[in-house]
Amino acid sequence: MELLSFWLVVGAALIGLLLNTFKVLREYERAVVFQLGRFQKVKGPGLIIIIPVLQTMERVDMRTLVMDVPSQDVISRDNVSVKVNAVLYFRVTDPQKAIINVERYLEATSQLAQTTLRSVLGQHDLDQMLSERDKLNADIQEILDGQTEAWGIKVANVEIKHVDLNETMIRAIARQAEAERQRRAKVIHAEGEKQAAEMLLQAAQTLGGDPRAIQLRYMQTLTEIASEKNSTIVFPMPMELMDTLISKLKS
């Protein structure tokens, strides 16, 4: 009975040893292998062998990871307090650096993204935060990518999701937008008045250049008034037209 128990213990130990010796890594996984505490190599994907006791390993996911950057309190350059959150897309390009050069690279990347978000947005006005998101995304991505390169991490993209304002600021922005619309309407109306005045001036100059043009315009006006079915029309007769008629009668 004791012999059977002994062999059962030995069998269980061998099975445990085999399980710790043979590791299967998926296509998107890599293993950073240490031998007696020193880095040996990066292995995977597929079946790899780890010598128990002598060797240990750390799994690293090589896929693009999606990380939500928690909402951050940001004070813009024009002293407006807003809450901003974002989403970060990144992946590990060098498993050795990700394990050796930084402790808990996921947490380190998250903390760096939060501080960078506050720093970059704090250098811009509120209008820029709302209207120039593509530029701000590119600036944040460039800074993060430069700092995480030493960790073996490539930041592919950063997207600002929401810029939350308090109710007072929302009402102020609405009033500002309404004032801007009124300003544009007045400018358009003034431009129309200006163009109309210029056209009237040109017409007056053209008519004043030739008396016959004034007479033609006078006759056209009489025709338009007569077509309106007015019973009585009192209209002054220009002296130039009277002189023309008198000269015709005398001849």
* pLDDT tens digit at each of 251 positions of the chain: 666 676 676 667 667 677 778 889 999 999 999 999 999 999 989 999 998 889 999 999 999 999 999 999 998 888 888 999 999 999 999 999 999 999 999 999 999 999 999 999 999 988 888 889 999 999 999 999 999 999 999 999 999 998 888 776 656 666 766 777 788 888 888 888 888 888 877 776 766 666 666 666 666 666 666 666 655 655 565 555 556 556 655 65
Domain ranges of the chain: 11-61, 65-170, 210-226+234-251
Query: What is the pTM for the complete model shown?
Result: 0.65
Longest dimension (CA), the chain: 156
pLDDT of residue 112: 95
Asked whether 103 and 97 are in contact (CB, 8 A), the reply is: no
Alpha carbons 110 and 90: distance in angstroms, whole number: 11
DSSP string, 126-182: HHHHHH-HHHHHHHHHHHHHHHHGGGTEEEEEEEEEEEE--HHHHHHHHHHHHHHHH
pLDDT of residue 148: 95
Alpha carbons 175 and 183: distance in angstroms, whole number: 12
Query: What tokens appear for 99 in the block?
Result: 């394990």
Alpha carbons 128 and 160: distance in angstroms, whole number: 13
> Which CATH architecture fits 65-170?
2-Layer Sandwich (3.30)
Helix (H, G, I), strand (E, B) or coil at 89: strand
